[in-house]
């Protein structure tokens, strides 16, 4: 009887292993791999909390940067410190505004590749505020408010109906409370270099995005020559479909060995 239970237990464990995180089928990531995650505006480092454990389970060392969101140069400096602290090559991942930051910070020698997640991908000399000027305004922009110091925030309706409309109300309420306001001047500061010109890139297009138009995302992904994955999500695919976003990051890790 005891042997029978052990056999059933072993069979169950084998079945579970076959059904677990599908990214493992592509082979384990290197234990020397380093991923630096860069959040966007209206968020903080915890924005990646669903992706981080999936990467760690694959043996990847992960750091989620806390951007000050006070200026482009301040955010780039924070990301460069995180890159410098890694013991080896880095896959640099940016969401939304974080795409602007990794475009510049990604020029660091340690950075092997870039992953854009529903993110801006500017060219050198470009400012974030002019990206998408040839596209209709994204509906979420109508829900951004500024305080007397020039910092921008999303309204509760902006978060629940336009930033993360595919997440439950309990989650969007927390995201509203913990959001990181960004200074408006950040969107008017020029990117000095475009790392995607010399580093391989991946791009996750959010096809139901209300913050960065999906057509604009596809346009940017094509411009930078990225490997594209399209997900039917809001502006936060790493929150609503974290396993699929983790798979894209792990693909970049494996390709960057």
Spell out the domains of the chain, with CATH numbers in brackets.
30-128+189-255 (3.40.50.1820)
**Under 8 Å CB-to-CB from 170, ≥6 apart: which residues?**
none
Residue 15 pLDDT exceeds 80: no
d(CA 76, CA 247): 26
In this prediction the pTM is: 0.88
pLDDT tens track for 195-225 = 999 999 999 999 999 999 999 999 999 999 9
Q: What angle do helix axes 98-105 and 72-84 make, rounded to 10 degrees?
A: 60
* Structure token digits, residue 114: 């870039």
**Under 8 Å CB-to-CB from 65, ≥6 apart: which residues?**
36, 37, 38, 39, 45, 78, 79, 82
pLDDT tens track for 55-86 = 999 999 999 999 999 999 999 999 999 999 99
């Amino acid at each position: 009887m005891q042997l029978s239970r052990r056999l059933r237990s072993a069979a169950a464990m084998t079945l579970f292993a076959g059904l677990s995180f599908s990214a493992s089928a592509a082979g384990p990531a290197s234990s020397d791999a380093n991923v630096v995650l860069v959040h966007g505006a209206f968020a903080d480092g915890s924005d990646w909390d669903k992706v981080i454990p999936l990467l760690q389970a694959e043996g990847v060392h992960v750091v989620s940067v806390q951007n000050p969101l006070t200026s482009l140069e301040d955010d780039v400096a924070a990301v460069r410190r995180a890159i410098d602290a890694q013991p080896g090559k880095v896959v640099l991942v940016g969401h939304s505004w974080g795409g602007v930051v990794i475009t510049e910070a990604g020029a660091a020698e340690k950075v092997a590749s870039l992953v854009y997640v529903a993110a801006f991908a500017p060219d050198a000399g470009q400012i974030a505020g002019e990206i998408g000027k040839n596209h209709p305004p994204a509906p979420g922009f109508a829900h951004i408010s500024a305080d007397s110091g020039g910092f921008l925030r999303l309204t509760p309706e902006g978060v629940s109906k336009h930033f993360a409309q595919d997440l439950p109300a309990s989650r969007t309420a927390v995201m509203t409370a913990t959001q990181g306001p960004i200074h408006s001047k950040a969107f008017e500061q020029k990117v000095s270099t475009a790392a995607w010109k010399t580093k391989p890139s991946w791009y996750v297009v959010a096809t139901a995005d209300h913050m960065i138009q999906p057509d604009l995302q596809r346009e940017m992904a094509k411009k930078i020559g990225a490997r594209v994955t399209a997900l039917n999500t809001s502006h936060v695919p790493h929150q609503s479909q974290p396993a699929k976003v983790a798979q894209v990051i792990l693909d970049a890790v494996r390709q960057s060995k």
